[in-house]
Amino acid sequence: MSARSLHDSATELLTGWKPESGPESSLREAMLAFLGSAPRGCLREHAPGHITASAVVFSADGRDVLLTLHPRVGRWIQLGGHCEEADETVADAALREATEESGIPGLRAEAGLYAAQAHPITCSLGVPTRHLDLLFRFTAPPGAVPVRSAESTDLRWWPVDALPPDSDVLIR
The pairing of strands 79-82 and 154-159 is unpaired
**Per-residue pLDDT reduced to its tens digit, 73-110:** 888 999 999 999 999 999 999 999 999 999 999 999 99
User: Chain-wide mean pLDDT for the chain?
Assistant: 93
Q: Provide mean pLDDT across the span 123-140.
A: 87
**Per-residue pLDDT reduced to its tens digit, 136-153:** 999 999 999 999 988 889
CA neighbours closer than 13 Å in the CB half-sphere of residue 28? 17
Q: How far apart are CA 152 and CA 13, in angstroms?
A: 28
Provide φ and ψ at 115, rounded to 5°.
Answer: -170, 180
pLDDT of residue 73: 80
**Per-residue pLDDT reduced to its tens digit, 16-44:** 999 988 999 999 999 999 999 999 999 99
- pTM across the whole model: 0.94
**Alpha carbon separation from 96 to 18, 79, 87, 93, 100 (Å, rounded):** 25, 10, 8, 5, 6
**Per-residue pLDDT reduced to its tens digit, 1-23:** 589 999 999 999 999 999 988 99
Nearest CA-CA partner of 54 in 168, 129, 123, 137? 137
